[in-house]
Amino acid sequence: MASQIDYVLLSGTANPQLSFQVGKILKTKVYEPVTRFADGEVRIQIPVNIRRRSVIIIQPTCPPQVDQSIMELILMIDAAKRASASEIIAIIPYFGYARQDRKDRPRVPISSSVVARLIEHAGANRICTVDIHSDQEQGFVSTPWDNLYASFCLVPKIKKLKLKNLVVASPDKGGVPMATAFAKRLKATGLAIVYKERDVHLNDSAASLDMIGDVKGKTVLMVDDLVSTASTLCNGADLIKLRGAKNILAAITHGIFSQDALERIASSPIDKLFITNTVPQREEVLKSKKIEIVSVAPLIAEAIKRIETGESISEKLIL
Contact predicate 222/169, CB 8 Å: yes
Rounded to whole angstroms, what are the CA distances from 217 to 67, 160, 168, 214, 249? 45, 21, 13, 9, 14
H/E stretch holding 58: strand 54-58
Rounded to whole angstroms, what are the CA distances from 308 to 2, 5, 46, 138? 6, 8, 20, 21
The full length of the chain comes to 319
Rounded to whole angstroms, what are the CA distances from 305 to 96, 242, 267? 25, 46, 42
Residue 102, C-beta contacts closer than 8 angstroms, at least 6 positions apart: 110, 134
Tell me whether strands 206-212 and 190-198 are parallel, antiparallel or unpaired: antiparallel
Please compute Rg for the chain using Cα positions: 20
Active site residues: 196
Helix (H, G, I), strand (E, B) or coil at 301: helix
